[in-house]
Structure formats: C-alpha cells, structure tokens
Structure 1
Amino acid sequence: MEHFSSPLSMQRNPSLHLVSLELSLAILSGTLPRELGELSTLQSLYLGVNPLHGTIPLDLGYNFSRSDIELSGNTLSGTLPASIWNICEKLVSLKIYGNYLSGSLPNPALPDATCKSLQYLDLGKIYFLGIFLCLYISFDFGKNIFSGNFPMFISKFNGLKELDLGGTNFSRPVPETLAALKLEKLNLSHNNFSGMLPNFGESKFGMHVFEGNNPTLCGHPLGPYSGSSGLSPFVITGIVIALMTALVVVASLLIGYFQGKWRKHADEAVNKFEKVEEEEAGCGEGKLILFQGGEHLTPEDMLNGTGQVMEKTSYVTIYKEKLADGGTIALRLLREGSCKGRSTCLTVIRQLGRV
C-alpha cells in the first residue's frame, strides 16, 4: 500500500462509517497521510510494526472520537505533535514506542489537563521477538530519544494504569506525584534519572523498572545509593579533604625535620667557634673556623689556592678561591674593625655560619 493512499478515498465515501482500522504487520510503506484525521468516525487506529516513515501529522489529534492509537514499531521521526493531547480526554491508549521520535515532549494546551480516560501510555523502546505463521521473525526496532526532564504533566494523568518511558533519555528526579497514580505497570529504565525515588510501596515494582539510570538514583528498591563505590557524594568529599589535609601535615613535618637538621649543623659550627674562642681567649691569634661541607680543608689548602674577590660588605670580603686539587670554595674573611668585642664578633660569626 504505497504512500497509504486509501484513507482519502475512504473518507470521501459517505456510506462508509469506519470505526476501527487494523493494519499491524501489513508491511505498509510510505508516510502517514493527514487525511487520517478527517475520518470522523474512526475510533481505533492500529498501524504497528510497519516500515512507515516521516512525521506524525497534526491532524491525527483533531478527531475527538479517538480511543486507541497504535503506531509502534515503525520508523516515524520528528517530534510528537502537541495536538495529540487535544483528544486525551477520550483517548484510552497511546502507544508510539519503537520509533525515532526526538525533541522535547510537548505539554498539553491546557496546563491542568488530566486526560482522565488515558490508561496506557507507552513511549519507550520495544523489545520484540516472536514466531508468526511458523516463521521465526526478529525485529530490530528504533528508539525514541526525547530531550529534557521527566514530563511533569504525566503525573496528572489520574487514570493511568501502565506507563512505559524506558530508554527515552529523560533526566532529573522522578516526581513524587507519580507515586500517587494507581499504576499497575511502570518502566523508567535506561534513562538518566537521578536523586531519590518516590515511595511506590514496598514491593510494587522491582529493580528492573529503574535499572540503567544515573548511578545516583536511589531509594526503594534500589537502596541508599546505586553507584559503584557505595558511598554518598558527601562522604567521598570528606575523604578527599581528609587525605589532602594529611598530605599537607606530612609535608610540613618533613620540611620542619630537614630545616631543624640544617640548623643543628650550623649551631654546632658556631658552638665550636665559641669553644675555641674561649680556650684561646687573650692569645691574640686568628682561628680558622670550618662549617659544614668544608671539614676536610686545612689552612695550607687555602693559602696555596688562587683567589678572586667577588664581593665586599661592611663586615666581610668574599673570595672565590680555586684550590690546588681543582675544587672551588667561597672564602669569607672578616674585615679588620668590622666587629668590636667578643659578643659582637660572635653575632657576626653566627650569621655567617647560617648562610
């Protein structure tokens, strides 16, 4: 039935009062004609599991006698027309799963629409495998990918018994108002829902109803948290902060340890000088004081080396001296008159010892 041309001719036949059109698995091709909406007596439309393509016409929602619409298992694309909710007060079943619809799910024109007659709403992905006429037939159907958050208006459809949004790509928390519906069947699997689930009752729905969502989705029957770590985000944040604090403390202790060790060597050199100064007090002879790193040197090593003045200050003259063995040292000589008295010289020596 190429391009589905027959509905137009049927509509123009005044003697025909078509109530139900059932052409599922009829291998129909082409697109859905807008004339379907002009069949004023048509209540049930079953066109599932056909290779029909194109968009769902707006006219489909202009006939208020509709009770059942079954368009699942085709290759329909585009967005679901908002006009479909115009007839939801009398519509009992709307099944459009297994297509390639996209975009956001439109809101009803009336914000408080309850669609009181609607009992079966199926927008999800179809999983179908069957045997027909002794033939093994496997169908690979499409998947509706909608955008946006959970369609809140659905939770106002008080007559719903079955709701299937499996694999439709909705996100954010599932509203608490959904639990108030008297649902007998529910499928919210393979979306991106997160947060706390509403209280649907202790044993009404199993875990498979909510599988394949964001790992943070929690609540009965999934448990406190369904992520791989088993820890809440707050606990993970606390652990990270504690580890970083411990790392800073350990680094501070290591730095303090090495600084203390360095000061100890410097103080030992100064103490050695003070001890020699006390032993030689009054003798008037100069003494060579060696700090850390120069313990192997002798006065002869420095007297035999060749030096070059690098810097002069009010206290010392700094030489860069090349030793006979090829090594290089920095030699600091106190300038005559740079310090007066034992205590003043000791202060200068302590400062030099810590350089």
Structure 2
Amino acid sequence: MDGEEKKKVNFLSAEDFEPALIPPMTIPDPDDKKPEDWDDRAKISDPDAVKPDDWDEDAPMEIEDEEAVKPEGWLDDEPEEIDDPEASKPEDWDDDEDGEWEAPKIDNPKCETAPGCGEWKRPMKSNPAYKGKWHAPLIDNPNYKGIWKPQEIPNPNYFEVDEVNFEPVAAVGIEIWTMQDGILFDNILITGEEKIAESYRETTWKPKFEVEKEKQKAEDAAAAAAASVSDGLAGFKKTVFDLLYKIADIPFLSAYKVKLIELIGKGERQPNLTIGILVSVVVVIFTVFFKIIFGGKKQAQVTRKTTNEGVAETSSNQESTGEKEEENEKEDAAAGPRRRSARREN
C-alpha cells in the first residue's frame, strides 16, 4: 500500500512455496547411497601432533592461595550459627510424633564484629598451571570430498503449464502464533493493476497514514516528556535520600540512628510510602532537636512549680480545715447540750 516492495514471490516457483505448484524437473535419486570411502570431514586432528611434556591434564583449575593470611581477630572456636537462646519448646510438641525438638539457628552475634568465625581456610585462586584436557590441533582434511548429496535424476512427475488459471483471489488469510491478543491487520488490497493500487494509496491510505503518523509523534513526545520527568524525580529522590542518610549520621541522633536508617530504607524500597516516611523522619529529627534545646529546662520548671503548688495547696487546705473545726466547736458550745432522744423498748 505504501508503494514500497518488501517481498516478491512467484506462485510457480519451488523456491517460494513448499511443495511447489509445479513439480521440479529433477529430484534427488532415492536409490543413490553415500559411498563408504566418502570423507565429508573438512577438518581432522593432526595425527603428527604430540602432547607437550609439561602438559599436566590432572592439574586442578583452582588452587589454594598460599600467600593468604588469616585475618587478625578471626574466631576459630565460634560457629557461624548458634541456637536461638530465646526459643523454647512448644507446649504441644510431642517427641514421639514430632521427633526430638531442636532450637532454630540464628547468626552468631559474635561473628558480626569479627572478620569471620569457624575454621579458617585459605581462599582459592586460579591455577596458572591449569591447561585442561589436551587435544591435538585441527588441520585441513586432505581426503575431504565435500558434503555428499544424492545425484539428481529427471522427475517422472514433472509437467509443464502453458497458461496458469487461478481461481479469483478474494481474501487473504494471515496465521500467526502469539501470546498477545488484540492484533489487527488492515491496509490489504488485492488487485492486478498498479494504477488501482496507486489510486487507493493516494486517496485512502496516505491521508490516514499521515494522521496516524502525527498521532504517533505526539504520543512519543509525551512518553519522552514523562520519562524525562520520571528521571528528574528519580534524581531528586536519590539526592533527598542521600541527604537523609547523612543526617542520620549526625552525632546527636546516634540513639535514633538504627530506626532512622530503617525508615529511610523502607522509603526507598516502597515508593508509595516515600512521602509518609519522609515526613516521619523529619518529625523524628525535629522532635529530638526540640528536646535537646528546650526539653530539660522546661521539665524542671514544671516539676518545681507543681511541687510548690502542691505544698501551697496542702497548707491552705490544712488552714481551712482548722478554721472550720474551731467554728464548729463554738457553735456546739453556744447551742448547749443536745437533747437525748428517748429510746423505745419493745
């Protein structure tokens, strides 16, 4: 449709179709057999080659590094893993059914600060004397006769066609193997006239192609812009996280360093939580900073104030209680002795 020829085939050619519509003039002789003395090896091993005396086929590929030295502080008597001291045997564990219970293994904490634990072994290095299995070099085969093929004989089924009569072609079938659906094919024209194809190209295909071409350019430009923004955000994000890691190393935040690094790492691994984690880190930093500057003095003043207020309030309450008791005694003295109520006995 676009006026460019990508592939050209001939219905009558045996090179374009298998099997061909018209049989070939000759075919391989089915009764012809390869001679026993036919040598089709282009290269052979040099029969005169001899393995060198210094060629050791048994030499290993790697050997121990004799120059290696055990690092200072290596803990030979400490295993790399130990039983979890905090693990306990489950209450419902049955030794008869579940077998002997064993505590789970954890990394030996002593090995975290040491260069290594357990038996030290020299590291391996490539063996300079290693050569592998010896093989004789290849040379051209003096008896090479080429790739054998059976002789061609006349095809008894061959026939000639003076004029080819095809049924009218009204459709095109396209068969592909794919794991993706939604594939569409268009711009298919069946015609035997070049002028008809040119007319369709100029009036139908080309206008549509130009519109789709401009649309594709706009989509590519939008994708490039989005990629540029994404790359810019990625660079900005890296800069922010690098700064946060440096902040976490500030001495006055040493008590919170582990937690801060954990939060920062979580923000890097989970982009959907980045904003929330950044806010959390900033809050933690400013909280610690605020406590260092204002926390201690303000707490002391509040404590003293509270203590003084408590003492004053207690003294005031005691004075008020004493005054009320004196007033009650005066009232009782002025009223005289109270009349006793008669007790009725049944």
- Band the TM-score falls in, shorter-chain normalisation: under 0.3
Structure having greater relative contact order (Cα 8 Å, sep ≥ 6): 2
Using the size of structure 1 for normalisation, the TM-score is 0.20
Judging by fraction of residues, say which structure has more helix: 2
Judging by fraction of residues, say which structure has more strand: 1
Using the size of structure 2 for normalisation, the TM-score is 0.21
